[in-house]
């Protein structure tokens, strides 16, 4: 049950949603956050009661959004938020998909198995925000490494730990199966000759593509995507 339905009629765009466990916030938090709530209803929630938060109503600034996610990390129902998190990063554009595949054929990529990606984060299964994977690139903009950072920085190419966990969850990848899922990071360039990093995920015959958690120039790959969607 969405407890915000009696507080607002606002409907949030799915990619901007974060779900908060309705049993956790106090009255002060509820009063403060009512302006940011939405009345969307989850079809199969993992928890009995919840609040739908529309991150796009909180702020247009990356730093403020990141502060909110970090401060409210313990209130978030990640199992219910995972689908919304991936929506903010799905890359469904054949031009960029082709670029990624061409880069892979040319050997211009950085690849890592899901198990190794998870192992980069100490206590991976209990960490979410503000932990991010920073993609390291060479002088040609080609990914050549990855490390974990615990401070958000909009000027580097990063992907949230919560996004990677969302992919594992939605693909039904348990810890023993993480070695079978592969992440391949490549350079992608838009029609304005601006470049960033995107990645391909695959296991057996299943494939998806995702973009970055913001970057040096906002909206490089998707002009319609909001800041709230990208930051998760």
Query: Where are the domains positioned within the chain?
Result: 3-87, 94-231
Contact at 8 Å (CB) between 2 and 80? no
Share of the chain above pLDDT 90, in %: 77
d(CA 60, CA 37): 16
Which two tokens mark 140?
């040609």
Q: Judge contact between 188 and 195, C-beta under 8 A.
A: yes
Residue 133 CA to residue 165 CA, distance in Å, equals 12
User: How much is the average pLDDT of 19-30?
Assistant: 98
**Closest listed residue to residue 42, CA positions, set 90, 79, 6, 92:** 79
pLDDT digits (tens, 9 = 90+) for 118-141: 999 999 999 999 999 999 999 999
C-alpha–C-alpha distance, residues 95 and 116, integer Å: 29
CA gap 121, 37 in Å, rounded: 31
77-113 pLDDT per residue, tens: 999 999 999 998 999 899 999 999 999 999 999 999 9
At residue 34, the pLDDT reads 98
> What is the predicted pLDDT for the residue at 61?
86
Decide: helix, strand or coil at residue 23. Answer: coil
Q: Please count the CA atoms within 13 angstroms of the CA of 66 that sit on its side-chain side.
A: 18
């Amino acid at each position: 049950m969405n407890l915000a339905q009696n507080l607002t009629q606002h409907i949030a765009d799915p990619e901007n949603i974060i779900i908060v466990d309705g049993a956790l916030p106090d009255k002060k938090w509820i009063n403060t956050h009512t302006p940011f709530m939405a009345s969307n209803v989850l079809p199969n929630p993992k928890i009995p009661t919840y609040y739908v938060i529309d991150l796009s109503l909180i702020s247009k600034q990356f730093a403020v959004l990141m502060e909110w996610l970090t401060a409210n990390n313990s209130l978030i129902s990640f199992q219910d938020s995972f689908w919304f998190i991936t929506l903010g990063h799905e890359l469904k554009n054949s031009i960029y998909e082709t670029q990624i595949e061409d880069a892979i054929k040319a050997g211009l990529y950085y690849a890592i198995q899901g198990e190794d990606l998870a192992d980069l984060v100490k206590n991976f299964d209990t960490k979410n925000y503000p932990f991010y994977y920073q993609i390291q690139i060479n002088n040609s903009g080609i990914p050549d490494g990855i490390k974990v950072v615990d401070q958000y920085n909009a000027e580097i190419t990063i992907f949230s730990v919560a996004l990677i966990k969302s992919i594992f969850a939605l693909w039904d990848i348990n810890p023993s199966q993480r070695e079978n899922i592969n992440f391949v990071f490549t350079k992608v360039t838009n029609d304005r000759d601006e470049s960033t990093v995107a990645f391909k995920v695959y296991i057996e015959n299943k494939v998806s593509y995702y973009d970055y958690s913001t970057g040096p120039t906002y909206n490089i790959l998707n002009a319609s995507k909001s800041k709230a969607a990208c930051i998760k």
